[in-house]
Every structure is written in structure tokens, then in C-alpha cells.
Amino acid sequence: MTPLNKTPFTLKLDSRLGRGATANVYKVNIAGNNYAVKIYNKPETVDWQKISAMTDLSQRAGYEFVKTHAWPLGLIQLEGKNIGFAMPLYDLGLFSTIDNYYDNILRKNVKDTRLLAVTNLILIAKNLCIEINKLHAKNIHLIDIKPQNIVINTTTNEVVLLDCDGFSIEKDNVRFPGLFISADYIAPEVTINKLFPKDLGQDQDLYAISVLIFQLLNRGLHPYSGKLAIETEATTNDDKAALGNYAYGVLKNEKITPHVSSLHTMWPEKIVSLLEDCFKFRRRAQASEWIDTCDDIERNKGYVRCDKAPEDHLHIQFREKE
């Protein structure tokens, strides 16, 4: 049901598209339109007030863009009780999760090397930030940013966000928080102050965006990886982030040296600066700043082909860089 009507339909259990720890997803046809339907395993534990608020927002002027993501469009009921929601249906065979573009193992799944060229990686970063910027403009925060929930259309570079029901949203001055957060993308203050996901907002997103862009341009390296001069008890990337030992800025860090395979010396100064500001606890760039930075690179033709391998897309480099 949507805020305006209810429509009966039959859910065929053999139409399942995916299975998760908390829910199953099915393909259904409702009133002549195809949707993906998420059915929770334990619907009694779900915050239905939040899901209902999200379906309401999807009908409002100015929120049309949410329909380009896996956003709740209508509640699903069985015998008068909420059990799930309908969302836009995507042919995920046309998409790859964003980690396929930087993970050294998953990159082998991308057969068209043009998609792995730095020109395309910058375009993906820009498209991701365009979508996040739209959400932030409406006080919607992802909180639980992780590669598996960000998929890229391998033909158009369209970015689609999954698991939108986990977002932190605001409707009519009421905040419905996110409840989950993923390792490797946790802002340092969260670890330092032992904060809960429900307490987090835009700053968490801005940190995670910078981590993703760093990984996208650096073959999956985490920004707080490297060789420490003195070993610490910190074992996870999030623990290391809380220490602030960042090795990939303009100034040398005596406490840590860069990973030998890092490509950071080959990036434009603006990208290096924005990342250094974030990871040295100075300031975090807004999504709009990343959009402008990527636009400037594209507009100023900031790429050149390699003299030794001009036909190899993987050898395209930033202008005036190695």
C-alpha cells in the first residue's frame, strides 16, 4: 500500500531474487508494474514508522530522485500486518558493486578495461557524490556506507544505492536514525567516543566517501594502511583511523610510511589535499566539493595517454603526473 491506495497482489515464492540474514527479496508484478519486494524474516522487529515515512517521502515533490535507488515505495501487508515493502526493480546483471573497480581480485571480473581507466574511476566517484549530495540536501544520511550497497551500471555508470531502509532520514522535523555501520568506513570520532550508529549524521557519510574515493583511486588500499615506525595494539583499519596516522599526504609522517604499491603521488594536488584534510582531522569535503573537483579534472582535460602504451586504457594518467 502507498499513502493513497492499496493494491492486492500474489507473491510467488519461486520468484526470489536474493536472500539475506534479515529478509528475502522477490520480483513481483503489482498493477502491471514490476517491483522488487523485500519481505522481512522478523517483521515484528522492524521500525514501521520509519519505513512508512520513507514511502510517504517517495510521493513528495522534490524527492523524485529517491526512486532511482532501492527506496521503499509502498508497504507490503499480509492479513493486515506489515511484513515488507516494495521498491524499484533493477536488473542487477547490468550492475557491478563498486569494489569490482578497485579490489585487486574483483577487478578481474571487469572484462572491459575501459571501465577501470582512471577517467572512468573519476566519473564513478563524481556520480556517487551526485547521488549522495541529493540525499544530504534533504537531510538523508547513509550512515552504513559499504561497497556491497553501491552498484554501478557497467554501461551508463549510473550509481544505485541499495538497502535504503537503513538510512537515517528526516520527515516533518522527525529524525529516524540509521542503526548499522560497517567496518573500514567508521569515522574516527565514532571509535574514539564509542558512539552508536543512531547518533551519527552527515559527518559519518563524508568520512566514508573519502575512504571510498581513496580506495577507488588506490586499488583498494585503506587510507590508514602503511608501515608504522612503532607498532601499536590497533589491529583494524578503524582502530588505526582513530590514531590518525595517515601516510599519503603532502607532508611526510614520521610515524608511518606509505604502502609500497600506493598511487597517491600520481594524483592531482586537489585530490591529495582533500583526502589529507579529511584523514588528518582538519575538515571533510562535502559531496558537492568532490563533484566540483571531478568536474574540474574532466573540464580541463586532466588526463593524458601513456607514451609507451597509448592504446592501453589502464595506462591513462593524470596530466603532468607519473
pLDDT of residue 212: 98
Task: Name residue, grid cell 590514531.
Answer: 243
- 96 domain-assigned: yes
Is residue 90 within 8 Å of residue 17, measured between CB atoms? Answer: no
Whether 59 and 138 share a structural domain: no
pLDDT of residue 248: 97
Statement: residue 12 has pLDDT above 80? yes
Q: What's the rounded Cα separation, in Å, for the pair 187 and 197? A: 11
Statement: residue 208 has pLDDT above 90? yes
The chain-wide mean pLDDT, for the chain, equals 95
Q: What's the rounded Cα separation, in Å, for the pair 288 and 171? A: 23
Number of Cβ within 10 Å of residue 196's Cβ equals: 11
Whether 137 and 281 share a structural domain: yes
Listed residues 72, 87, 102: the one ending a domain: 87
Statement: residue 64 has pLDDT above 80? yes
Q: Which structural domain range is residue 44 located in? A: 13-87
- 158 domain-assigned: yes
Listed residues 87, 118, 147: the one ending a domain: 87
Statement: residue 218 has pLDDT above 90? yes
Number of Cβ within 10 Å of residue 21's Cβ equals: 5
In this prediction, residue 20 has a pLDDT band, given cuts at 50, 70 and 90, of confident
Whether 62 and 102 share a structural domain: no
Whether 60 and 122 share a structural domain: no
- 1 domain-assigned: no
Phi, psi of 55 (to 5 degrees): -65, -35
Statement: residue 3 has pLDDT above 80? no
| Element containing residue 317 per DSSP (H, E) | strand 317-318
Mean pLDDT on 106-135: 96
Whether 74 and 122 share a structural domain: no
pLDDT of residue 175: 97
Mean pLDDT on 216-237: 91
Statement: residue 308 has pLDDT above 80? yes
Q: What's the rounded Cα separation, in Å, for the pair 250 and 145? A: 27
- 263 domain-assigned: yes
pLDDT of residue 92: 86
pLDDT of residue 5: 87
Whether 154 and 75 share a structural domain: no
CATH code of the domain covering residue 42: 3.30.200.20
Burial of 225 (0-12, 13-18, 19+ CB in 10 A): buried
Q: Percent of the chain beyond pLDDT 90?
A: 92
Whether 25 and 116 share a structural domain: no
pLDDT of residue 194: 96
How is residue 46 annotated by DSSP?
S
Number of Cβ within 10 Å of residue 136's Cβ equals: 19
Whether 311 and 169 share a structural domain: yes
pLDDT of residue 86: 97
- 166 domain-assigned: yes
pLDDT of residue 21: 86
pLDDT of residue 71: 98
Is residue 76 within 8 Å of residue 40, measured between CB atoms? Answer: no
In this prediction, residue 235 has a pLDDT band, given cuts at 50, 70 and 90, of confident
- 223 domain-assigned: yes
- Sheet strands (E) in 1-137: 16-19, 23-30, 33-40, 74-78, 81-87, 95-97
Per-residue buried b or exposed e for 69-99, using 16+ beta carbons within 10 Å of the residue's own CB: bbbbbbbbeeeeebbbbbbbbbeeeebbbbb
CATH code of the domain covering residue 300: 1.10.510.10
pLDDT of residue 141: 98
pLDDT in tens, 242-253: 999 999 999 889
Pairing of strands 33-40, 81-87: antiparallel
Per-residue buried b or exposed e for 109-123, using 16+ beta carbons within 10 Å of the residue's own CB: ebeeeebbbbbbbbb
Q: How many domains in the chain?
A: 2
- 64 domain-assigned: yes
Whether 22 and 102 share a structural domain: no
Q: What's the rounded Cα separation, in Å, for the pair 39 and 18? A: 11
Whether 44 and 152 share a structural domain: no
Whether 204 and 187 share a structural domain: yes
Whether 80 and 112 share a structural domain: no
Listed residues 40, 70, 87: the one ending a domain: 87
pLDDT of residue 233: 82
pLDDT of residue 290: 98
- 6 domain-assigned: no
Statement: residue 4 has pLDDT above 80? no
Statement: residue 262 has pLDDT above 90? yes
pLDDT of residue 151: 97
pLDDT of residue 232: 83
